[in-house]
Chain A
Amino acid sequence: MSAALMSVHPVLALQDTSSTVLLHRWQFGFNLIYHYLYPQLTMGLILLIVVLETLYLRRGHEFYKKAADFWVRLFAPAFVIGAVTGIPLEFGFGTNWAVFSTVSGGVIGQTIALEGVFAFFVESAFLGLYLYGGDAFGKKVRWFSAFMVFLGSWASGYFILTVNAWMQNPISYRTLPDGNLALVHFWKLFLNPWMFHQYIHVMGGAVVTASFAMAGIGAFYLLSRRDVQFGKLFVTLGVIAGLASSLWMIYPSGDMESAALAEKQPIKLAAAEGLFHTEKGASLTIIGQPNLQTMRIDNPIELPKILSFLSYRSFEATVKGLEAFPRSLWPNVPLVYYSYHIMVGLGTIFAAVMLLAALLLWRGRLFRSRRMLWLLLLIMPFPFITNTVGWVVAESGRQPWIIYGVMKTAQGASRLVNAGNVYFTIAGLAGLFLLLSVLYVIVVLKEVHQGPEAPQSEDVERLEKEIREIIPGRRALQERRREEPIESGREEKVRG
């Protein structure tokens, strides 16, 4: 493949640009990591917001509406930042990975394009309706628009993960005479077996982040003895969702992920586990530092035979170590090893903490247990780290491939974009991201400080009120309802 590619894309032969390729990776990876801090929160949060909206719809109590509004005020700016930092990524396939995009566009162009029309349009259109028209059009439209934002953002996750799943496990393609790849079966691309476990694992991770955020802010209110009713609601919802999702991350989704690695990407598994030598009945390393000189783990703490069991369901199974593969195909071993161990370690702690919190909740003691509430508050940032290092395992771990087993990352980069230009745009993005982070922190601190009971910023309230007043459709609807009750029922169906 690589020789064929060289002849088809002569530009590849122009210059030795391995350092430029590294810069392209930094730019894209940095943008990705920063971007994903927001969607992991919003994708999870919108699910919890839909739960709050459902409570409001069912019970009709203003309390739930206020609770939902509070979270929407944290959700909306995160959503906007997630959206605007995602745009450079969509175009980044072309700006930084021109050759890769040309070669694979016939396949993954499908999913990227469909994400735009099926997910982004739904999200953006209904978010506008939810934020600025939610109150004016009544409870049902409010619930429906929130639900559509949820559907849109989870669909968006599905489409973009389809792209990633194909890069991890390329299927249903054939190579054309000009070296580009063509799609064979549309549905197989969307039902990539890699997709399934990856999707449930990633979306589970988003719910972990959001439920820890909800539980943490609830704990903050309970600890500071203000907005106590809201605090109780947030902690309850956060702990229930947090327990379910953090267990979900371990079993079944995490377990499925590592089984898939054992089958399809054994090098990544070996690097993640720090397994240098092929072993029968391999032990699982809990802590230790991989030493690339001596090819072993320094200061290891190990569980004998467990790795074999987890990978192949047999204590005596043979697990391939890094030595079984040529060194040129190794990823950055320490990076993948530590990322993986941080992910698994923190994930285990999350499940334990939530199990304990759920137990206290069930016994009715959680709201009084200050130590547990402190723990819930302080653990809040860690799911962000866990999701991030999880992605580092997935993406760094598959290096040197951009399409696993098909195309090397170094072949896929935009070769005519030189290092100076990449430095320039990385610097610009870094500055912008810093600004966005500061802004979001300001917003969160302000909203949490004001609390769910506080009226919204005067400006927003005026805005909403004015929109409510100026919507003639609404006014016409009310008038018509007065005149022709049957007609209005039909009208509402159309709107809903």
Chain B
Amino acid sequence: MQTIWFIFIAFILTMYVLLDGFDLGAGAIYPFVAKDDKERRAVQRAILPMWDGNETWLVAAGGGLFLSFPLLYSASMSGFYLAVFVVLWLLILRGVGLEMRHLLDNDLWRSFWDGVFFLGSLLLPFFFGVALANVMRGVPIGRGGKYFFQSLWTDPLHPLSKNPGILDWYTVMIGLLALCAVILHGTTYLTMKTTGGLRNSSRIFAGAFWVATVGLTALATPLTFYLLPQRLSHFESAPWGFVFPAAAIGGILTVGYALAKGRDGLSFGGSCAYIAGMMSSTAFAIYPKVLPAVDPSRSLTIYNASAPHHSLVVGLIAWGLGLLLACIYFAIIYRMFRGRVEV
């Protein structure tokens, strides 16, 4: 049961990154892709009807976590307290920025909110990547407790110290990788959703960020396993898990191929496969832990952090049903807004 929930949570977080990823990525790159106000509006039109719904996946993931692994939810929220609030501020500002822009006809007003939206979209994927890297690296769960508290940084040059902060060179590197991957995701989305000059410049930026993503992935993956060889153990004991990194590699190669050939839908699909592959590889690497600790014996696992069995069962039924309904609405609404946006 715990494993099913683990997969469920990993799935919903992956969905969040796939969906909100493209509007974050588009937001983080659009001042460079779109040359004038008309093009900027076209970019925003491509994401406006969806962003709020996309962000809801994050909230749903939070709720699902509370239901299934209450200890993981409370330990990580209070442990990453400062980072969580920084992320929340950014989410607030970004969401408001996108919706407030249209409310006054004034260039200064619009420029201001464009800037807010851009900064929010730029910093959020970075922090999400940092969060994921913290989970991968392990957190300083203390003596005799189930909780921890991480400062923003303590010893940035030594990620393996006893009391690591949220930011060190390893987590920052993964943060940058996440940012590049999300921008790649956003640019392939824009390539698929727009026309004319906007599509062309999106494609050029997608090419650049493809190179950056490939480079950072090639750098970060060996470094991760050099730094944390214990994360390889699950792959060794269950070699079928290599399908996840294989999907990521296949995905990123597909993006490159499709960008070169000008096949826009395929490049977005490849980017989805890459992100899903990376996320599931991470999940697979830490399983059955949900929050590894610096001292491995104190790690939170799917067994010691989960809700009681009955809660997991009834929750699975009710929540699964709701999730199914949500997928249906999303399919319908994405279908209604399908097609390219013209400048």
Which A residues form the contact surface with B (CB < 8 A)?
9-11, 76-77, 80-81, 83-85, 87-88, 90-91, 93-110, 112-118, 120-122, 124-129, 131-133, 137, 176, 180, 182-184, 186, 414-418, 421, 424-425, 428-429, 432, 436, 439, 442-443, 446, 457-460, 462-463, 466-467, 469-473, 494-495
Q: How large is the interface on B (under 10, 10 to 19, 20 to 34, 35 or more residues)?
A: 35 or more
B95 cross-chain contacts in A, Cβ below 8 A: 80, 83-84
Q: Are B63 and A116 in contact (CB under 8 A)?
A: yes
Query: CB-nearest residue of chain B relative to A13?
Result: B144
Chosen A-B contacts, 20 in total, with CB atoms closer than 8 Å, are A84-B91, A90-B62, A91-B77, A93-B73, A95-B85, A105-B66, A105-B74, A105-B307, A106-B311, A109-B70, A113-B67, A117-B60, A117-B325, A124-B53, A125-B56, A182-B308, A183-B311, A416-B145, A432-B92, A459-B101
Given A106-B70, A121-B53, CB of A90 within 8 Å of CB of B338: no
B 93-106 binary contact with A (CB < 8 Å = 1; else 0): 10110011111110
B 318-343 binary contact with A (CB < 8 Å = 1; else 0): 11001101100110110111111110
B275 cross-chain contacts in A, Cβ below 8 A: none
How many pairs of A and B residues are in contact by the CB < 8 Å rule? 277
User: Is B159 positioned at the interface, with any CB of A under 8 Å from its CB?
Assistant: no
Given A112-B67, A117-B322, A432-B89, CB of A414 within 8 Å of CB of B78: yes
Given A125-B329, A416-B148, A459-B105, CB of A88 within 8 Å of CB of B85: yes
Residue among B78, B99, B104 with the highest chain A CB neighbour number at 10 A: B78
The A interface is mostly helix, strand or loop, or mixed, namely helix
Residue among A11, A87, A131, A472 with the highest chain B CB neighbour number at 10 A: A87
Interchain CA distance A448-B95 in the complex, whole Å = 23
A77 cross-chain contacts in B, Cβ below 8 A: 99-100, 103
Q: Are A424 and B89 in contact (CB under 8 A)?
A: no
Interchain CA distance A118-B104 in the complex, whole Å = 33
Interchain CA distance A287-B83 in the complex, whole Å = 47
Q: Are B318 and A116 in contact (CB under 8 A)?
A: no
The B interface is mostly helix, strand or loop, or mixed, namely helix
Q: Which of B41-49, B216-224, B226-234, B256-264 contacts A (4 or more CB under 8 A)?
A: B41-49
User: Is B246 positioned at the interface, with any CB of A under 8 Å from its CB?
Assistant: no
**Cβ contact of A11, chosen from B41, B66, B147, cutoff 8 A:** B147
Interchain CA distance A368-B314 in the complex, whole Å = 58
A98-B147, A108-B66 known; 11 new pairs, CB 8 Å cut-off, are: A94-B62, A109-B63, A109-B70, A121-B60, A127-B52, A128-B333, A416-B78, A424-B82, A425-B85, A466-B342, A470-B341
Q: Are A118 and B325 in contact (CB under 8 A)?
A: yes
B85 cross-chain contacts in A, Cβ below 8 A: 88, 95, 425, 428-429
B49 cross-chain contacts in A, Cβ below 8 A: 128-129, 131-133, 467
A415 cross-chain contacts in B, Cβ below 8 A: 147
Q: Are A470 and B339 in contact (CB under 8 A)?
A: yes
User: Is B315 positioned at the interface, with any CB of A under 8 Å from its CB?
Assistant: yes
B103 cross-chain contacts in A, Cβ below 8 A: 77, 442-443, 446, 457, 460
User: Is B88 positioned at the interface, with any CB of A under 8 Å from its CB?
Assistant: yes
Q: Are B336 and A425 in contact (CB under 8 A)?
A: no
Interchain CA distance A376-B49 in the complex, whole Å = 36
Query: Which residues of B87-132 have CB atoms within 8 Å of chain A's CB atoms?
Result: 88-89, 91-93, 95-96, 99-105, 110
**Cβ contact of B59, chosen from A85, A90, A432, A470, cutoff 8 A:** A90
B99 cross-chain contacts in A, Cβ below 8 A: 76-77, 80
* A252 CB, nearest partner CB in chain B, Å: 30
Q: List the 6 closest pairs (A to B, CB-CB), nearest first.
A: A105-B70, A94-B77, A117-B322, A116-B63, A109-B67, A113-B67
* B48 CB, nearest partner CB in chain A, Å: 6
**Cβ contact of B60, chosen from A9, A120, A127, A182, cutoff 8 A:** A120
Interchain CA distance A467-B88 in the complex, whole Å = 30
Q: Are B308 and A176 in contact (CB under 8 A)?
A: yes
Interchain CA distance A428-B93 in the complex, whole Å = 12
Query: Which residues of B30-70 have CB atoms within 8 Å of chain A's CB atoms?
Result: 41, 45, 48-50, 52-53, 55-56, 59-60, 62-64, 66-70
A425 cross-chain contacts in B, Cβ below 8 A: 81-82, 85
User: Is B79 positioned at the interface, with any CB of A under 8 Å from its CB?
Assistant: yes
**Cβ contact of A98, chosen from B55, B78, B142, B330, cutoff 8 A:** B78
Q: Are A10 and B145 in contact (CB under 8 A)?
A: yes
A90 cross-chain contacts in B, Cβ below 8 A: 59, 62-63
A80 cross-chain contacts in B, Cβ below 8 A: 52, 95-96, 99
**Cβ contact of A95, chosen from B78, B318, B326, cutoff 8 A:** B78
User: Is B284 positioned at the interface, with any CB of A under 8 Å from its CB?
Assistant: no
User: Is B84 positioned at the interface, with any CB of A under 8 Å from its CB?
Assistant: yes
User: Is B75 positioned at the interface, with any CB of A under 8 Å from its CB?
Assistant: yes
B102 cross-chain contacts in A, Cβ below 8 A: 457, 459-460, 463
Given A106-B70, A122-B329, A473-B336, CB of A113 within 8 Å of CB of B45: no
